Chain A
Amino acid sequence: MKRGVSVTVNGKRHERDVDVRSSLADFLREDLDLTGTHLGCEHGVCGACTVLLEGEPVRACLMLAAQADGHEVRTIEGLASSEDALHPLQEAFWAKHGLQCGYCTPGIIMSAAAFLAEKPAPTDGEIREMLSGHLCRCTGYHFIVEAIREAARAMAAKRTKA
């Protein structure tokens, strides 16, 4: 069964016919070629597929593409403000060695972006609680926590300057 949807992804509107069985993750990856959103489990636990739906983190594997009709989605590809710039989270992860294989990274960064918008000065404990919704098998989370802490600091500094 197919259904027509209109979804805005990273600021651009897309109209497509989707298989009702397709998840939002499938739609992003297959229909829109946005493969930065990764599938790690397809049952909502690993967090690798996390994207922002109207600014809030959700599991793209636990939403049907059909349900995204009329909604706004932001993926990792739409996080940086331009081709040349990186979002402060991306800069911080790079500086702090917050990634190894990179597979869990987009989901974590999208969650962290929403998290820092709500909690601009988090404690390490709050960072770890947010991170507990994401599985990483490479890093032990140590440098990820440092990266998010650093991003929070950099974003606060930018706001003070502005």
Chain B
Amino acid sequence: MKPAPFDYVVAEDAADAVAALGRYGDEAKVLAGGQSLLPMLALRLARPAALVDINRCGELGGLAESGGTLTVGALARQRDLERWARTRSPLFQEVLASVAHAPIRNRGTVVGNLVHADPASELPALLLCLDGVVRAKGPKGERLIPAEKLYVAPLATSLEPAELAIEVRFTLPPDGAGWGFAEVARRHGDFALVGCVTALTLDGGGLVSHARLGFFGVGGTPVRSAAGEALLLGREPTEARRVEAVRAAAAALSPDGDLHATAAYRKKVAAVLAERMLGAAVGRCRKTR
């Protein structure tokens, strides 16, 4: 399985990369970690005229946490995020442990995975739940794309062909937030059949002041359930409330069926996971003053 022929361009910096992308119209692809792109090339499912390698663009590295925001540069590897998470976020740690395997995470980039937009991928759902924003650089300058505007269809984002995603920002859950993450995969590290991410914060009175409930593997894009979250906000997160929120969230899901799971399965189990993870999130909450 060898790729179809392509031109190979090594960009010196982000501006150079954007210019190179522009030269090829929509026939060029960005090569960062390559862990999602190179298999597609090998299978000849993708046949770009050119690869623009951004691995030498020094300014795109880095991972920084400041004031509740985590900023991840385009060249930060998944394993860099994993190492940060070890001491800073059990939620991120849990999510990353489910992303493929160590050799893939050593090369694969966080931003690359996010803009590859596989609906069964974990990180896009996390981005969605954490009010994520992508900073994109294109021929007309830079713009910010919020996560809810980013994912349009399986393997498709709202990035323009000549745009390069140069960094991504996550809004970290507030101090004392509880969280939950679970997926069903047929084997450890596989793409999920279905998965769920949650975050909850309780105020001094034990009422929900902040809620996030997201799913992946439930259709063409990751989904965040505004309806479910609304039913939790401002109330005590009792079991009955959680069940009600999950019911509303699941009702809005219309997943697909495939070789590995039926649509009915995904819808049903999304709800099962959401119930369990909301329970876990509550258990992990520390009431804030």
Contact = CB atoms under 8 A, between A and B. Distances in A.
Given a CB threshold of 8 Å, the question of whether A touches B is answered with yes
Contact of A56 (B53, B106, B188): B106
Interface residues of B, number: 29
Interface stretch (B5-13, B136-144, B169-177): B5-13
Nearest to B3: A21
A1 interface: yes
A66 interface: yes
Contacts of B7: 1, 20
A11 to B, nearest CB: 21
Contact of B42 (A42, A57, A66, A129): A42
Contacts of B10: 66
Contacts of A129: 188
Contacts, number: 82
Size class of the A contact interface (CB-based, 8 Å): 20 to 34
Contact of B5 (A1, A42, A47, A67): A1
Contacts of A44: 35, 38-39, 104
Name A's interface SS: mixed
B1 A58 contact: no
B38 A62 contact: yes
Nearest to A118: B102
22 contacts: A20-B7, A20-B51, A21-B5, A21-B6, A42-B39, A43-B42, A53-B106, A53-B107, A56-B106, A58-B107, A59-B107, A61-B38, A63-B38, A64-B8, A64-B34, A64-B53, A67-B31, A129-B188, A132-B101, A132-B188, A132-B189, A133-B101
Interface of B: 1-3, 5-8, 10, 31, 34-35, 38-39, 42-43, 51, 53, 55, 79, 100-104, 106-107, 187-189
Interface of A: 1, 3, 20-21, 23, 42-44, 47, 50, 53, 56-59, 61-64, 66-67, 111, 115, 129-130, 132-133
